[in-house]
Structure 1
Amino acid sequence: MGLGEALRKAMDKIGNAGAIDKDTVKEAVKEMQRALIAANVDVTTVLSLSKKIEEKAFKEPPKGVTQREYIIKVTYDSLVEILGGKTAPEHPKKILLCGLFGSGKTTAAGKLAHYYKKRGHKVGVIAADTYRPAAYEQLQTNAKLAGAEFFGIKTETNAGKVVKEGVKELEKKCDIIICDSAGRSGLDDELVKEIQEIDKALNAEEKWLVIGADIGNLAKKQAQAFHKAVGVNGVIITRMDGSSKGGGALVACNETGASVYFISTGEKQ
């Protein structure tokens, strides 16, 4: 059972109950807790969410709203609050994508290029992943499929230098620049230093964490580290087709205060 289905089942306890009392709400919250923990949401986030719901549930509902309707809305609003509730900006000037190795940043860069290109923007992408040999060709192909401008220096190992040159070149012809970056199997000092150098060279107002739906309990540590390094203000969840969990995304949003802007499945644009 996926997270969405499990949460709906918990909400049904309130929706289908003959009478609404504190025991009904507590039982629904317990079921929600089980669903979130099974989806790899950390216990701190789960307890924080549960406390918010229980504190608000039996306040006086607005005029014309039943207690049942009010409790369902409180629960929904509490979940949305964690996920951020904001939509992706319509015209971001520069976007830095960050995340660990294998999170799907390069694929996400191509999909974003396609998304904004379809909305009439002139989009350029920068291949700043100088660590993974295939990243240059992959992003070049993705950019071509999206109809976006591409910039990379295949022989350059200094990612900051690539970004600096890329911005200089793409700013002449693009109104949106998307920058891919390298990942590692862990967020070590070398990666932190590199992502900060890229951030300085790009000077992006949008810094989005790309996170796999299957990351599980590693989400909290990863989100905290990237947020500390560059100040994450958006989240992209990838591989939702391969995981029924996705709870790590809730944790990432809760830790950074960022909104989930996109949910991605597969590699096709």
Structure 2
Amino acid sequence: MKDSFSTFHPIVNFLYFTLVIVFSMIFMHPICLAISITLAFSYSIYLNGRKALKFNFLYMLPLLIMTALINPAFNHEGVTILTYLHNGNPLTLESITYGIASATMFVTVICWFSCYNAIMTSDKFIYLFGRIIPAMSLIFSMVLRFVPKFKAQLTIVSHAQRCIGRDVSNGSVIPRIMHGIRILSIMVTWMLENAIETADSMKSRGYGLQGRTAFSIFKWDSRDKAALIAIVVTGGYLIFGACTKALYFRYFPSMRSVDFSVFSMSVFVAYAILCAIPLSINVWEDYKWKSLQSNI
């Protein structure tokens, strides 16, 4: 499924993910966490389909539960004591709640980063920062693409070794270890050669030299302007709400939140709008496409 938000200008994409990732780490109010994790999960599933659904429920959900359970075992702060552990330390409601909140925040940030990796390709990142920090932007883009390239090359090497009976699944324990070491050696050699070839290629093309021009397919249009205005307005409103403590929530020593008001509710709505911008764009574009198809 083609994502419409990925076709927007790189400035819009980068600014959006910067805001949602930073806000997801800062805003620890339960309502903010619920909004962020729901829309992050939804957008990751929209982008990657069943693969994201499987990843979220098989890996992210157990990680959330495990992280939430670990915190009360080591954190015993809080005034609401539920019971005492076998070692005499108290189990408090505040530590349990904070464990759930911190686990939710951690998983949410991972989901947003998975969406970021799907939208912000290396060419977009180099387009944004290639002239400002050419060496750093190249290294960062190479790091981002390294994992999927390494995984694809490892699959190719493993299949080739399996065809000649030298895969980690062939033989007894010692031969399997030797086969694994051989595959690892091949991958290390491939990584070094790939890094040298990339560096030589970029150098021969004059990358980083002053006055060097570059071809770009990214154009700024009216929809980018509208999306940027929406992101800046909602992001600015959220920063204002955070500065006025409309999103205040503490977990220790006792849980306490700011009193709900029209203003605080409007800040929560603004946060939901910000997190839902990519999904809203995609739903609207899908609706327009289906309308055009029905009129043919």
User: Which TM class, normalised by the smaller chain length?
Assistant: under 0.3
Q: So what's the TM-score if we normalise by structure 1?
A: 0.27
Structure with greater helix percent: 2
Q: So what's the TM-score if we normalise by structure 2?
A: 0.25
Structure of greater Rg: 2
Structure with greater strand percent: 1
